[in-house]
Amino acid sequence: MTSSDTIQHQVEAMGYPGNWDVETLRKKWIEFLDSFMKESGTALPLKRVRYQMEQSITYQEIENRWARMEPSERLTAWKRLLESSEQVIREVLPTCVQCGECCRKSGPTLHREDLEILRQERIPWNRLLTLRLGEPVRSPMDDKLVFLQEERIKFREKEGTQECVFFDAITDQCTIYPDRPLQCRAQACWDANQSRELAGQPYLSRRDILNGVQVLLDMRDEHDRRCSFEQLQNAFKRLEESRGETVDEVLKLLAYEDHFRHFIAEQMNIPEDTLDLILGRSFVEMLPIFGFRVTEEPDGTKCLVADEK
């Protein structure tokens, strides 16, 4: 099917636009974008294409004049809007239009080049967390599950979402844009090669951040030795193999790791909201990885239960 045939088919499928108001025009146009992008197999976010079109002269002229157009003019303008939209989808501009879709997927992982913005205290520690050796993460390249061969430092996500903690979902804007890290500056939804090239750059580690503070490095090492992700993974493996008989082993490991964290915070006067950076995520926080969560009975007894989510 040729481009003109596709446009004519969409015009016939969506009905005659002569009686549409501006709100209906916009609704029908977004439906077209969504449908055409799925049919063409483009990996671009819908909002990314929509934002680019909304900034175009063609879209703004049609939307601004729509209420004053005659029905016959609206049909011609509708066809022109669809043609222009199709061209944008096929030949997207290699530039960021700040649609915010990248920021909704995850907080960025930091590289050594980002250390300076931390040293200048432009990014608070309580907005960072450490993903430790062996932890499972989703690869940003192909969305596959991989296990880390080295630790990563990244921005937190908002609770219950994948949105970066510095993303304003109302305005679709980054609240620290001038100080955004390397990954954000290299992010290009229209070209995955830039992100692939960035993956070869050295990642930031806790040793880089805690350089010179030996007591914190020692605590990090001791926590990694006593409470590694591998230990938690093996405990759940034994739980599965024993059909639940070793649940106490899991609960004891969770309790020990929790005690370790709070003891360090109290003894060294470390704010608890920075422990996810210094020690990594808590075991309790990682339970959903294994399909579980912890509940507490009225008498204080801790129970391990399947996570319905």
Same domain for 195 and 107? yes
Taking CA 185 as the corner, what is the angle to CA 101 and CA 30, rounded to the nearest 5 degrees?
Answer: 25
Does residue 232 lie in a domain region? yes
**What's the whole-number mean pLDDT along residues 110-134?**
93
The DSSP call for residue 301 is -
**What's the whole-number mean pLDDT along residues 122-130?**
94
Name the amino acid, one letter, at 51.
Answer: Y
pLDDT at 279 over 80: yes
What mean pLDDT, rounded, does the chain reach? 88
**Which of 13-27, 90-104, 120-134, 144-158 is predicted with the least confidence, judged by mean pLDDT?**
90-104
Does residue 44 lie in a domain region? yes
- pLDDT classification of 74: cutoffs 50, 70, 90: very high
Contact at 8 Å (CB) between 106 and 194? no
**What's the whole-number mean pLDDT along residues 285-290?**
92
Same domain for 260 and 221? yes
Contact at 8 Å (CB) between 130 and 280? yes
- pLDDT classification of 164: cutoffs 50, 70, 90: very high
- pLDDT classification of 205: cutoffs 50, 70, 90: very high
pLDDT at 7 over 70: no
Does residue 95 lie in a domain region? no
- pLDDT classification of 4: cutoffs 50, 70, 90: low
Torsion angle of C-alpha atoms 250, 256, 262, 268, degrees rounded to 10: -140
Same domain for 230 and 161? no
pLDDT (0 to 100) of residue 80: 93
pLDDT (0 to 100) of residue 76: 92
Q: Between 298 and 93, whose confidence is greater?
A: 298
Residue pLDDT, tens place only, 79-112: 999 999 988 888 877 778 788 888 988 899 999 9
pLDDT (0 to 100) of residue 121: 87
**What's the whole-number mean pLDDT along residues 231-242?**
95
Does residue 269 lie in a domain region? yes
Same domain for 195 and 245? no
Residue the block writes with tokens 């007591």:
215
pLDDT (0 to 100) of residue 73: 93
Cα 228 to Cα 222: distance, rounded to the nearest angstrom: 10
Same domain for 127 and 63? no
Cα 260 to Cα 270: distance, rounded to the nearest angstrom: 13
Residue range of the domain that includes 286: 213-306
Residue pLDDT, tens place only, 14-30: 778 888 999 999 999 99
User: Pick from 90, 125, 156: which residue ends a domain?
Assistant: 90
Cα 200 to Cα 126: distance, rounded to the nearest angstrom: 27
Beta strands 167-168 and 136-138 are unpaired
The DSSP call for residue 202 is P
pLDDT (0 to 100) of residue 13: 65
User: Pick from 37, 64, 90: which residue ends a domain?
Assistant: 90
Cα 272 to Cα 276: distance, rounded to the nearest angstrom: 8
Same domain for 71 and 39? yes
Q: How many domains does the chain have?
A: 3
Same domain for 257 and 203? no
**What's the whole-number mean pLDDT along residues 274-300?**
91
- pLDDT classification of 1: cutoffs 50, 70, 90: very low
pLDDT (0 to 100) of residue 2: 44
**What's the whole-number mean pLDDT along residues 291-306?**
86
Does residue 96 lie in a domain region? no
Same domain for 108 and 19? no
**Which of 20-24, 187-191, 198-202 is predicted with the least confidence, judged by mean pLDDT?**
187-191
Contact at 8 Å (CB) between 101 and 189? yes
pLDDT at 142 over 70: no
Instruction: Give me the DSSP letters along 64-101.
Output: HHGGG--HHHHHHHHHHHHHHHHHHHHS--SS-----H
Does residue 47 lie in a domain region? yes
pLDDT (0 to 100) of residue 140: 62
Q: Between 303 and 94, whose confidence is greater?
A: 303
**What's the whole-number mean pLDDT along residues 237-264?**
94
Same domain for 107 and 44? no
Same domain for 203 and 105? yes
**What's the whole-number mean pLDDT along residues 109-122?**
92
User: Pick from 64, 90, 116: which residue ends a domain?
Assistant: 90
